[in-house]
Structure 1
Amino acid sequence: MHKVAFNAQADFKNVVASENASKSMLTEYFKANQKHPWARHILYKDFPGSFTWEKRKKFWKPRVERFQIGCIVSANPAEGERYYLRVLLNHVMGKTSFEDLATVDGMICGSFREAAERLGHIEADNTLDDCLTEAEQWGMPCSLRRLFATILVHCEPGDVRGLWDRHHEPMSDDYRRTRTSPNDVEQIVLLDIRGKTFLYRAMLAKVRSEGKIAIATAMSGVAASIMPGSRTAHSRFKIPLSCDDGASCSFTKQSGTTKLLRMASLILWCEASMTKRQAVEVLDNSMRDIMGIRD
């Protein structure tokens, strides 16, 4: 599922057939383990300490320069298999393929989650603890609250109160700067992480399960990241950054965006109430135009 960058004028068949298209840092990590038996005691996140990534030729070369610290791109539990793949890579070393990574006691598991469960890496709430602790190193309080809500909805933690007690302070840093009462801060944070996300996902799943089109958008990129198939409203609807009265979105009647909007049975706009009035009116003007609705 790794992304492949290519020139817009390139022939798609040639791009797919290219040897480099199937290569990524992870696939070449597997190959490095095949080639260098001594590397099989190194976790994926620690690989840059012993190997250098050659960008042009896409392979890991044994490091001869100074030591370097590496890291793995973050993932949250709502991402499903990508998250459990990351869990395995953080705990298991020496694997030589995706199939090998999903193998436990000689048996190939049906998913990375199953493999992680059988190895005992997600049988308790410690994995969720690790996820929140890591996010606290760089995430803003608002994004930590969204992550906590995502965990409640998708991961069914056994000790919710324990997770809350261990992580509520980083989730409330912004509110504690303006309020002195700990009880007030706690109540505001709890209100902020209530089950709105679950409702949105349920609505999207219901419509899409019927073979219909449901469009999910949000005011911010953080909000968009926790809804399946979501994008920011400005990106999805091509809303201009400067919205004047009477303005319209920057898509044409023949564009793919227009076709998508005409076919949609449901449009969700998370946090629309926090959006400027002009942005909503711009979309309304454009929707009336493409649907042929006149005042």
Structure 2
Amino acid sequence: MYLVDTQHIYGIKRCHVYTIEWQKRGLLHVHCLSWMVEKIRSDQIDSIISAELPDPNEDPALFGTITKHMIHGPCGQLNPRSPCMKDGQCTKHYPRQFLRESITYLNGYPVYRRRYPEDGGVETTIGRFHVDNRWVVPYSPFLSRTFDGHVNVEYCRSICALKYLMAYLNKGKDKAVVVLANRHRNNEITRYQIARYISTNEGVWRMLQFHINDHFPAVEQLHVHLENGQRMLFNVQNAPDRAAEPPATTLACFFELCATDNFAKTILYIDVPRYYRSVKKVADIRSPHLRTVNVTVFDTYAEACRERGLLADDRHWHLALTEATVTDRPHKIRDMFAIMLHMCEISDPLRLWEQHKGAMAKDFLRTLRRRANDDTLPYTDAIFNRERLARNERSLTQDQRHIYDELLAYVARGPHDTIIFLDAPGGTGKTYLLNLFLDKIRSQGDIALAVASSGIAAELLTGGKTAHSVFKLPLDISRYERPTCTIQKNTTRARLLSLAKVAVWDECTITKKLSWH
């Protein structure tokens, strides 16, 4: 890092992040990532990073360093027992292909120049293996000459290549399973304990308080939460005190600062650490002054921000729907509104619906007036919610109607933890019945999930999605002995599942058994 910071061997550095990792045998190595002020161009890569053997006559010292520290394997057919081999293939993708010029891709690492021996590429023999440029790990000639060791250097041009390093920063500590032998007791809880593995070298490093990881410039986490929504740690003894005096957060301190400091009112929340230093103390943000605009106290922060003009309003969506009412038919306007709800960031969907629901339901009103032979009938809730539902209910067959009524009666009796299986021959209208059942539940203001085991079946259900999408099932579920759904608590998806009245799962019999555990 010193050479990169002071000597500017790659240019002026903007920021960096690094972490130190220990191998099981105790050796340490560093994973480091640096961002430069001026981006390295593709035609500069070969002058900074090399993936070729140097000429032993021009630079014998570098040639010795590279052949000793920067040659992968060999593996593959030359050495099938190499540690990098898995299922007969090298996990590091060696040997690489010969290439006359370096190629940069939009995502990931570039493919470095590795010239053929006929084109000037160097080849040599290491032990009993013949080695050429296909086996060279990318390196920086300057750093390899300086440190005379293994220094792998890569050119990163997208976020895809950064995930490798970030995984080391966030993957957690190494762990090992320890078996405690006991001839008199056979308790699995006491036999198997998850233990942290710390080598001797790492233990000394930590006792001497050397850095394990670092980043520059320093980053301060700014909290974002609702009123009285900051997180806190408490136990039985201090719970009343913690509730009476909630812990301070950077957001609470920022609001207090703006109430007394005129300069703080002129800067954004993210700019506060540049001018102020936070000191931990108890803060109280329960005052309604944050929701007050021109002596008017609003119910929510969103309404106050919208009044101040800090949030984008739905004026352009309102104008688009207004224009559509002049030229398009009601079902086209409904389609347009549905696309807006799904694809656009509408700040107040309910208000937009109230403004244009008349135009979207005009064909329903016209049908109702024609049947009643009364052109003065006004709009009703049935027109907005249940006109198509009532029409479809009348078209049910006797068997469909019986099943339909039984399902509705079962749901109306209260919450249940039961699975109901509906089986019928193909072509009898199962999908039609399920869609009508979903519409009925939703028309009552409840949430009904439409799930299918295949994408084609999901398209046939109203609002249908695949089970992998709704429940976050693993795509290759057979690979796991005990598969789990990756739905975190207190997320939007978790709340949706907990509030759902029913869930309809079409083609559930073709789903693997592990999906139901």
TM-score for the superposition, normalised by structure 2: 0.22
- Greater percentage in helix: 1
**Larger RCO (alpha carbons 8 Å, 6+ apart):** 1
TM-score for the superposition, normalised by structure 1: 0.35
Larger Rg: 2
